[in-house]
Amino acid sequence: MQGQVKKMRSQLAADPSQPVQYELPIGDQLVALNPLIGKPIKLVYTGKITCIHCNRAIKKSFNQGYCYPCFSSLAQCDLCIMKPETCHFAAGTCREPAWGEEFCFQPHIVYLANSSGIKVGITRQTQIPTRWIDQGAVQALPIFKVQSRYLSGLIEVAIAKHVSDKTSWQQMLKSKAEAVDLRAKRDELIALCQAELADIAQRFEPQALEFLADEAVVDIHFPVDSYPVKVKSFNLDKNPEVSGILHGIKGQYLLLDTGVINIRKVTGYELEFSA
């Protein structure tokens, strides 16, 4: 089959002991990937790229699938999406105020995750557990629920002084992270950040920030039969054909015996897929 590729769809299995279920959107079709574990697959880049927002044909994509005009004008591509603490909505300079009101001023979750180690992160409440799966987290724990992306960013910055806010994708793909006590780590970090968190809370209405004391740790299992000893990443712009035995799927990566490919990175590319 052939068509424009978008990020893989994922869903936790009904049985929490079973692996995440993955589908690859290609054109108008969805490819169920879990049944292909252990089998040969091939991806061929046709040379065509389409912006995932405006659908114009482009030669190079920006920010995982956008043309340059969209990248430079859309609020969803602004720096404040990656660094919410830099939100400039209140200054009246948001690229798309209506978009900001819809997506940034809604409940967000500050969480701890265990992917390549413990990290702090944020996401819209509606993106749970998708965000955790996309990061390759084997455990996740919501710790705060807040009423805006900006507020979640302030809390993340405070906690990130004591724990990473990034995932090492190479380490995440080499093995399954060892289980850790996320609830104990949460309590440790909140104690360390107590003064900063109190200062942040005083700047907002009481209902804007909620500590999630009773949340359970979510365990996530990925469909991987073997991890690569050495991570070799494919670049379709340099080598348009990727083939090999599919040994697993983790985050937005396909793990082949010949290397790994980040599907999120090639969003908008037209690919031929065969298995």
231 in a domain, yes or no? no
Which of 40, 104, 47, 86 is CA-nearest to residue 240? 47
pLDDT-above-70 percentage for the chain: 100
Q: Please, which residues bridge with residue 118 across strands?
A: 114
- Cα 137 from Cα 134, distance rounded (Å): 8
121 in a domain, yes or no? yes
Same domain, 139 and 210: yes
Give the three-state DSSP class for 236: coil
Asked if residue 201 is part of any domain, the answer here is: yes
Same domain, residue pair 153 and 196: yes
Is the domain of 207 the same as that of 122?
yes
Compute the mean pLDDT over every residue in the chain, rounded to the nearest whole number.
Answer: 96
Q: How far apart, in whole angstroms, are the C-alpha atoms of residue 118 and residue 104?
A: 25
- 46 to 41, 203, 240, 256, 270: CA distances (angstroms): 16, 52, 7, 20, 6
Q: Name the residue range of residue 85's domain.
A: 74-105
Maximum pairwise Cα distance, the chain = 56
Q: Which amino acid belongs to residue 19?
A: P
Q: Are both 128 and 85 inside the same structural domain?
A: no
The pLDDT of 192-210, averaged and rounded, is 96
Note whether 113 and 205 are same-domain residues: yes
123 CB burial (10 A radius; 0-12, 13-18, 19+): buried
Mark whether 53 and 156 lie in a shared domain: no
Kindly state whether residues 51 and 91 are assigned to the same domain: no
The pLDDT of residue 16 is 86
Are the C-beta atoms of 226 and 254 separated by less than 8 Å?
Answer: no
**Which tokens hold the place of 19?**
């692996």
Q: What is the pLDDT of residue 14?
A: 87
What 94-99 contacts at long range (C-beta under 8 Å, 24+ apart), as own/partner pairs, is: 99/74, 99/75
The tens digit of pLDDT for each residue in 169-193 reads 999 999 888 999 999 999 999 999 9
Give phi and psi for 200, each to the nearest 5: -65, -45
- In tens, the pLDDT along 46-70 reads 999 999 999 999 999 999 999 999 9
Nearest to 247 by CA among 229, 221, 223, 274: 223
In terms of domains, do 149 and 131 share one?
Answer: yes
Do 143 and 83 lie in a common domain? no
Tell me whether residue 34 is in a domain: yes
Co-location of 197 and 114 in the same domain: yes
Are residues 15 and 44 part of one domain?
A: yes
Residues 238/213, Cβ–Cβ less than 8 Å:
no
Q: Is 224 within a domain?
A: no
| pLDDT tens by residue, 126-183 | 999 999 999 999 999 999 999 999 999 999 999 999 999 999 999 999 988 899 999 9
Does residue 227 belong to any structural domain of this protein? no
Do 169 and 189 belong together in one domain? Answer: yes
Q: Considering its fold, how many domains does the chain have in total?
A: 3
Do the domain assignments include residue 57? yes
- Predicted model pTM: 0.95
